[in-house]
Structure 1
């Protein structure tokens, strides 16, 4: 039964799901625009928005929390120095999901573009 289960599991264990979120968030922060499946984009969006909120705070404890969620110093540095200051006057909604009209060839999955709002 799926009572009170609010997140997508993607048929993965918790560790595998966290690795998926980390890799998608890393790619989004570095490239600022990624193409992925619609369900993965919807699932990783809150993870990325929490990271950007930590980046907006900018203090040492926020940096350490961001490093625990996304253990790549290069990405966290870019998050705190380049990405988060752009959203200083914005209270939320840092990402945008754009559905693509075509589906993926192999499995017919809906595709989407996940990007940072300018």
Structure 2
């Protein structure tokens, strides 16, 4: 299976979730490079300074320093090439309908996905 994307950024404060998601992305040949940040603040810095230029972002909603929605607010302020082309997938264990609704209403969010990411969900994303 060919690689689908050049760079994937994974933002989640949970090490185990990152480990599992990364393994699924790697085994699904999803991206050439997978960059993981447990801190959304560090991810914003990496985007601002250009050290990470993702095609796809998997973003958790509930994180202690900065929520996924706060990240999206900061992401909007960043000046980067092709920002509109970046696909952001909210990857969350939240069952709150407000989170799902708020996710789908954001212009940068392509889809809300329930954790854990599965091979089936990944296949549906790239179908």
Tell me, yes or no, whether TM beats 0.5. no
Structure with greater Cα Rg: 1
Normalized per residue, which structure has more helix? Answer: 1
| TM-score normalised by L of structure 1 | 0.28
Q: Normalising by structure 2, report the TM-score.
A: 0.27
Higher RCO by CA contacts (8 Å cutoff, separation 6 or greater)? 1
Q: Between Structure 1 and Structure 2, which shows a larger proportion of strand residues? A: 2
